[in-house]
Amino acid sequence: MLSLGMARGRHREHRSSQMPRGWLSLRQTRWPAPGDTVAARARRLGPQLGLRDRAARGQISVITRELRAAA
């Protein structure tokens, strides 16, 4: 049977191995799905706006900036 002191020490050791309070674990964060990033949305919107060639990549960055500003 564990004494109260050992239980406290074990608990303290367990807490010190955890992340500080207020931090989110990776499981709690909401990372966007790979197909739902701002750049992916800009690539999907590019052809809809008539940006079909490689020269339009500069326009993709403009769309990306506008999407980030709107978020």
pLDDT at residue 46 in the model: 72
Confirm if 8 and 2 have CB atoms less than 8 A apart: no
Confirm if 60 and 51 have CB atoms less than 8 A apart: yes
**Sequence spans of domains, the chain:** 35-71
Q: What is the pLDDT of residues 20-60, one digit of tens each?
A: 555 555 555 555 666 667 777 777 777 777 766 666 667 77
Confirm if 46 and 60 have CB atoms less than 8 A apart: yes
Amino acid at 7: A
Confirm if 47 and 56 have CB atoms less than 8 A apart: no
Q: What is the value of pTM for the model shown?
A: 0.31
pLDDT at residue 52 in the model: 65
pLDDT at residue 30 in the model: 58
pLDDT at residue 3 in the model: 54
Q: How far apart are CA 26 and CA 22, in angstroms?
A: 13
